[in-house]
């Protein structure tokens, strides 16, 4: 196979170099195809990049920062990340959740270790989490696959599914104390859904489970190192990446046997134009995006002075108080309002990675959920929430960079309205993501596939959307090399 040394000679074109676009490209290149990746932005990586957003010497993860899903991903397990210079640094505390009065709950090490600090909920936490963590190696690959593929371990997956079907607000009633309830709230709120919504427990349990089974690592030097590794793997296989070229229509692409698009349904409709039958356009228009995020990065003169010791050792801190407060914040966002006291996701990579800032200084990363398309700068409200649990925090701020939800979309068109997950995590979109089709990666256009986070298994840096889409494309080309994709060719 001739490597794609010039446009027009590629077998496969991938539009977009996010983790899913690059994973797709690697899978195709491993099967012997000449692959050409076209990226609109000046640098590769989409939601997996690191930049000096504030001051010289402060390396901030622009989007993704914490990588339990990369740690759990079968695609990344098949890549020798260490040989490609990627070091996953796992903090002692996966995530902590401060409460008023200097207390905190924390996911730390084994289920038993974590439960030991949950007071009246020690037993209940162990009963809920122990079977799930024991089966994690069986369930995680199934949770990172399209639902329509038959799981290899149906009993373990069913056990997880039964526990996760209810809303987090219902599951939280198993717990008596605020600590265990808060841990569940913070993990479930990653869905960006109200905690009364179905499936919020499933996401909460997934994140708790990964906290114990995988850890919540950051990447030494920043998330961009993972992108560098994917690009290095691709180029070693003869593929090439072109940056700074926004694709406006499919017709503008060089000829290729197969095209994979790391874009969301709305962009796909625009790219395909009249080539897409009206019925498919209507089906794709029904795809729902979630709320937005307002993201803030800080350069700090020292570590955040959390009152609770567990927060000082945690890579990630869920800031927002007790279950009811987190639930109220998410409900307000769902109702189209900006919460006065938002639930905030905060990451402090300096806990394990001193390379992110000059000696003694730190970077801090945080965001809160906001209504779609919001232009509101939430930095003040996020800082007030952090200050509540870490008095003196504001005095450490040397500089900050803010991206509203609208800014996020401006930097990356995949973040429609600032939705960082590539589409709402609703029940309908769990079953039919992006639309209800047997194989979710094929489109109505022969040889054209979607491979972004808007396809299963959804948002996050795991590369599995790209890998599954590429396997589908390979199966359709009748190529050996990749295991068959889901659904009949």
Residues within the interface to ligand FAD (CB under 6 A): 15-21, 38-41, 46-48, 63-67, 69, 246-247, 262-263, 267, 293, 295, 367, 408, 412-415, 420, 422, 452-453, 459-461, 465
Q: How far is the CB of 399 from ligand FAD (least distance, A)?
A: 18
CA distances from 337 to 162, 341, 370, 464 (A): 32, 12, 7, 33
Tokens at 268, concatenated: 């796909």
CA distances from 415 to 63, 212, 292, 412 (A): 11, 30, 8, 6
Cis peptide bond upstream of 457, omega within 30:
yes
End-to-end alpha carbon distance in the chain: 24
**In terms of CB distance, is 194 or 466 closer to ligand FAD?**
466
Q: Say if CB 333 and CB 291 are below 8 A apart.
A: yes
Cis peptide bond upstream of 434, omega within 30:
yes
**In terms of CB distance, is 17 or 443 closer to ligand FAD?**
17
Q: How far is the CB of 194 from ligand FAD (least distance, A)?
A: 20
CA distance 393 to 307: 11
For residue 105, what are the β-bridge partners?
97
**In terms of CB distance, is 110 or 235 closer to ligand FAD?**
235
Q: How far is the CB of 462 from ligand FAD (least distance, A)?
A: 7
**In terms of CB distance, is 98 or 366 closer to ligand FAD?**
366
Q: How far is the CB of 65 from ligand FAD (least distance, A)?
A: 4
CA distance 145 to 139: 10
**In terms of CB distance, is 157 or 465 closer to ligand FAD?**
465
CA distance 34 to 31: 9
Q: How far is the CB of 263 from ligand FAD (least distance, A)?
A: 5
CA distances from 75 to 296, 364, 464 (A): 30, 29, 6
**In terms of CB distance, is 95 or 415 closer to ligand FAD?**
415
**In terms of CB distance, is 151 or 460 closer to ligand FAD?**
460
Instruction: Give the number of other CB atoms < 10 A from CB of residue 178.
Output: 21
Q: Which residues contact 57 (CB under 8 A, 6 or more apart)?
A: 357, 358, 361
**In terms of CB distance, is 157 or 450 closer to ligand FAD?**
450
Q: How far is the CB of 255 from ligand FAD (least distance, A)?
A: 17
Cis peptide bond upstream of 92, omega within 30:
no
Q: How far is the CB of 421 from ligand FAD (least distance, A)?
A: 6
Of 165, 166, 202, residue with least CA distance to 187: 202
Of 409, 472, 458, 403, residue with least CA distance to 266: 409
Q: How far is the CB of 408 from ligand FAD (least distance, A)?
A: 6
């Amino acid at each position: 196979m001739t490597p794609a040394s010039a446009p027009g000679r590629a077998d496969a074109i991938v539009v977009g170099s996010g983790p899913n676009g690059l994973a797709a490209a690697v899978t195709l290149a491993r099967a012997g195809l000449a692959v050409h990746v076209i990226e609109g932005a000046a640098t590769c990586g989409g939601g997996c990049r690191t930049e000096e957003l504030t001051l010289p010497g402060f390396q901030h993860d622009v989007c993704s920062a914490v990588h339990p899903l990369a740690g759990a991903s079968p695609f990344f397990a098949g890549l020798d990340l260490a040989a490609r210079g990627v070091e996953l640094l796992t903090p002692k505390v996966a995530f902590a959740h401060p409460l008023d009065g200097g207390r905190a709950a924390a996911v730390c090490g084994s289920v038993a270790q974590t439960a030991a600090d949950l007071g009246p909920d020690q037993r209940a936490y162990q009963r809920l989490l122990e079977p799930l963590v024991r089966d994690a190696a069986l369930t995680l690959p199934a949770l990172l696959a399209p639902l329509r593929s038959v799981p290899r371990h149906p009993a373990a997956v069913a056990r997880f599914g039964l526990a996760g079907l209810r809303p987090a607000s219902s599951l939280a009633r198993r717990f008596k104390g605020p600590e265990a309830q808060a841990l569940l709230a913070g993990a479930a709120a990653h869905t960006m859904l109200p905690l009364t919504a179905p499936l919020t427990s499933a996401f909460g349990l997934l994140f708790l489970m990964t906290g114990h089974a995988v850890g919540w690592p950051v990447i030494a030097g920043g998330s961009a190192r993972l992108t560098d590794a994917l690009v290095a793997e691709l180029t070693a296989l003869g593929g090439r990446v072109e940056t700074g070229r926004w694709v406006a229509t499919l017709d503008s692409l060089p000829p290729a046997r197969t095209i994979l698009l790391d874009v969301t349904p709305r962009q796909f409709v625009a790219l395909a134009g009249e080539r897409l039958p009206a019925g498919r356009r209507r089906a794709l228009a029904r795809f729902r995006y979630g709320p937005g995020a307002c993201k803030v990065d800080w350069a700090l003169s020292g570590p955040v002075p959390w009152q609770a010791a567990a927060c000082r050792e945690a890579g990630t801190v869920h800031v927002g108080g007790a279950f009811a407060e987190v639930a109220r914040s998410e409900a307000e966002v769902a109702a189209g309002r900006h919460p006065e006291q938002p639930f905030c996701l905060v990451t402090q990579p300096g806990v394990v990675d001193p390379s992110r800032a000059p000696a003694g200084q730190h970077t801090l990363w945080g965001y809160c959920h906001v209504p779609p398309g919001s232009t509101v700068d939430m930095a003040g409200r996020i800082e007030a929430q952090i200050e509540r649990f870490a008095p003196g925090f504001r005095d450490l701020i040397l500089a900050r960079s803010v991206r509203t939800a609208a800014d996020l979309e401006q930097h990356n068109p995949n973040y429609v309205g600032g939705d960082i997950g590539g589409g709402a995590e609703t029940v309908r979109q769990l079953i039919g993501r992006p639309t209800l089709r047997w194989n979710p990666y094929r489109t109505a256009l022969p040889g054209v596939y979607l491979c972004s986070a808007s396809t299963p298994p959804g948002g996050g840096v795991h590369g599995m959307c790209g890998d599954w889409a590429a396997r589908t494309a390979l199966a359709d080309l009748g190529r050996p090399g990749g295991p068959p994709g889901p659904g009949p060719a």
